[in-house]
Amino acid sequence: MTDAPDATPDAAPLTGYAYIAGFVKTLDSSPGVYRMLDGESRVLYVGKARNLKARVSNYSRPGPHSGRIARMIRETQMMMVLTTRTETEALLLEQNLIKQLKPRYNVLLRDDKSFPNILVTTGHDWPQIKKHRGAKTEKGEYYGPFAGVGAVNRTLNQLQRVFLLRNCTDQDFETRTRPCLQYQIKRCSGPCCGLVTSDDYKASVRDAQAFLSGRTKGIQQTLAAEMAAASEAMEFERAAAMRDRIKALTQVQTAQGINPKHVEEADIIGLHIDGGQACVQVFFIRANQNWGNHDYYPRISGEEDASEVMEAFVGQFYSDREPPKMVILSHGLDSDDLMSEALAEKLGRKVEIIVPQRGEKAELVQGALRNARESLARKMSETATQSRLLKGVAEAFDLTKAPQRVEVYDNSHIQGAFAVGAMVVVGPDGFEKNQYRKFNIRGEDLTPGDDFGMMKEVLTRRFQRLLKEDPDRKAGTWPDLLLIDGGAGQVSAVREIMEKLGVGDVPMVGVAKGIDRDAGKEEFHRTGKSVMALRHNDPVLYFIQRMRDEVHRFAIGTHRAKRAKAIGATPLDDVPGVGATRKRALLAHFGSAKAVARANLADLTAVSGISQSMAQTIYDYFHENG
């Protein structure tokens, strides 16, 4: 790593072109990654280079730089470099650092969620089909990615109609004594109760895997033959069941829209730029089937060309995702071969990057471009509306400017039990769900149901963290306005905490139900000001109601999840070495945690997966802590 060149103690620190010209002298021609920082060590820009000395020297003298790059150079007061063995390594490191540091002058992919898959488990005699998101640690066959949960749920719903595979947990499966509702509505073949043979069930599993791998023609022919045979044998109920399964299979394929004939596995990426904003549309093609699409709105300055935006997007998009065999783009990259090499290194096999000019692939790209264009138009319209609403909030509550970050808070509990606090964030782009936060209420001295005390705890923890992480309020994480669900009492309690923490200058408004607690009659409470209301049909009032409803929804959901987890907890959760698999085995064998606690060593060792030493651990836990 190379740091900044020294300056004489009495001289003013060098900045901009002068600083970079001095820094270049410390570099060699190695490949690597460079970082440009301002006077407060905040990263302005991260870039890669095949030759660090040659690349960085381009910033050391005035030239045909864009306005964005010129501003970045002027603000640069420090630089750091990391050398790598190859340019490919530099590219991978660059994208990781961009995602981690979020530099102001880089193109930045803001929406970075993982995508769901369909999992057919193979670690059980009766495989389960289910939705899966996250690390692929469970034993089974994974199919995806799908563009979103909705696409997965629709596909699973239809697949269960066709193949009748179970979606219940292993624990539910082991403990059932009669078929569940899924069997009654013909979504499962009832393997838990022996209503289907092992061979027939395994054949259905193979058919489901074949369908998810793109081999659908044979499945439909087999079902059609079975339907005809049943009809000839006058087994009309069975024939009707086969007919329904064929119909469901057809619905799956219809819902997927365009299914390319000659593209087995690819991501189709279309980019549209307009008015200083960009939209990237990604279509996921797997097993010759369209598994949905997702739109992204990378942060750009508006001065970048399409190839720069596309290269930044592709690098960041695949930095923590497995790339497909082929990536089909609407715009070429500055270094197609380098990106292809980097993705191939990540995947362990060849990855082809192409920009098609004709044929089926070009038609797929045109479809992605059309969706990107339409999505950006909707986004820009929504952003304009959102900006007007935020400006209206500022006018309603006498703020000096339209808030760029509104934080909305609420609590949820049942008579003080399973208490949680919730925060949602609203900005110029609407609800920013990756900024939502939940707070498990920890105050031991709180009276059950003390909403004032809960809100004080939540706001204390929130602002203590902000003061620690961003004391200068320059990272964009500080709220411009707080909306609290409550009236004068809540506002007074929270204001007391904020004054004590030295953040009393943050504007805050309490939103309380008005007369008869009807929506539309809300009252707004502010410290030192009279209670106010907005006219019944004011768009700003509707906007505030949406924010309040969203935080209420998030708080209720968080509370229910906490309560469900607590209800499902057993004493086995605290036994050292007993994880989910052993817990399921013990409960399936003994029927309850209480029976496990009463079991002797011989009974415990009889359980599959419980060794002599683990049985001793379980026995000692319950008898020493009982």
Judge whether residue 356 has pLDDT over 90. yes
The pLDDT score that the predictor gives to residue 27 is 92
Whether 204 is in a domain gets the answer: yes
Judge whether residue 600 has pLDDT over 70. yes
The pLDDT score that the predictor gives to residue 56 is 94
The average pLDDT across 281-286 equals 91
pLDDT band at 11 (very low <50, low <70, confident <90, very high): low
517 within 8 A of 485, measured Cβ to Cβ: no
Lookup: tokens for 120: 């057919």
End of a domain among 235, 255, 275?
Answer: 255
| 6-10, 177-181, 297-301, 435-439: least confidently modelled range | 6-10
Judge whether residue 246 has pLDDT over 80. no
The pLDDT score that the predictor gives to residue 520 is 59
Lookup: tokens for 202: 């395994």
pLDDT band at 286 (very low <50, low <70, confident <90, very high): confident
pLDDT band at 470 (very low <50, low <70, confident <90, very high): confident
Other Cβ atoms less than 10 A from the Cβ of 128: the count is: 22
- Parent domain of 352: 266-378
The pLDDT score that the predictor gives to residue 579 is 80
The pLDDT score that the predictor gives to residue 322 is 85
Whether 364 is in a domain gets the answer: yes
Q: Which residue, among 489, 420, 502, 424, has the nearest Cα to 460 in the 3D structure?
A: 502
Residues 48 and 77 in one domain: yes
Whether 81 is in a domain gets the answer: yes
Residues 539 and 601 in one domain: no
Residues 6+ apart with CB under 8 A from 492: 527
Residues 576 and 560 in one domain: no
How many Å apart are CA 571 and CA 552, to the nearest integer?
32
Q: Which residue, among 479, 556, 543, has the nearest Cα to 511 in the 3D structure?
A: 543
Residues 144 and 177 in one domain: yes
Judge whether residue 347 has pLDDT over 60. yes
Residues 123 and 189 in one domain: yes
pLDDT band at 137 (very low <50, low <70, confident <90, very high): confident
579 within 8 A of 593, measured Cβ to Cβ: no
Whether 387 is in a domain gets the answer: no
Judge whether residue 379 has pLDDT over 80. yes
Residues 53 and 172 in one domain: no
Digit-coded pLDDT (tens) for 450-459: 778 888 888 9
Listed in sequence order, the DSSP H helices in 502-579 are 539-567
Residues 561 and 577 in one domain: no
Judge whether residue 250 has pLDDT over 60. yes
Whether 242 is in a domain gets the answer: yes
Digit-coded pLDDT (tens) for 83-113: 999 998 899 899 889 988 889 899 988 766 7
The average pLDDT across 279-289 equals 88
% of residues, the chain, pLDDT over 90: 33
% of residues, the chain, pLDDT over 70: 89
Whether 109 is in a domain gets the answer: no
288 within 8 A of 264, measured Cβ to Cβ: yes
Lookup: tokens for 526: 């502010």
Residues 469 and 547 in one domain: yes
Query: Is the preceding omega at residue 145 within 30 degrees of 0, hence cis?
Result: yes
End of a domain among 378, 398, 422?
Answer: 378
Whether 198 is in a domain gets the answer: yes
For the chain, give the longest Cα–Cα distance. Answer: 101
Residues 211 and 143 in one domain: yes
Q: What is the CATH number of the domain that holds 605?
A: 1.10.150.20
* Structural domain total, the chain: 5
Whether 390 is in a domain gets the answer: no
Residues 594 and 535 in one domain: no
Identify the sign of the CA torsion 8, 10, 11, 12.
Answer: positive
Q: What is the CATH number of the domain that holds 494?
A: 3.30.420.340
Judge whether residue 557 has pLDDT over 90. no
End of a domain among 71, 101, 131?
Answer: 101
Q: Could you tell me the strand order of the sheet in which 43-49 lies?
A: 43-49, 32-37, 78-83
The average pLDDT across 559-574 equals 71
Digit-coded pLDDT (tens) for 391-438: 999 999 999 999 999 999 988 866 556 788 899 999 988 899 889 998
Angle at 181 between CA 175 and CA 183, to 5 degrees: 85
pLDDT band at 502 (very low <50, low <70, confident <90, very high): very high
Q: Could you tell me the strand order of the sheet in which 117-121 lies?
A: 129-132, 117-121, 140-143
User: What's the chain's length in residues?
Assistant: 626
Residues 190 and 125 in one domain: yes
Distance of CA 200 to the CA centre of its chain: 38
Judge whether residue 584 has pLDDT over 90. no
The pLDDT score that the predictor gives to residue 212 is 81
Residues 416 and 544 in one domain: yes
The pLDDT score that the predictor gives to residue 565 is 67
Judge whether residue 209 has pLDDT over 60. yes
Mean pLDDT over the full length of the chain: 85
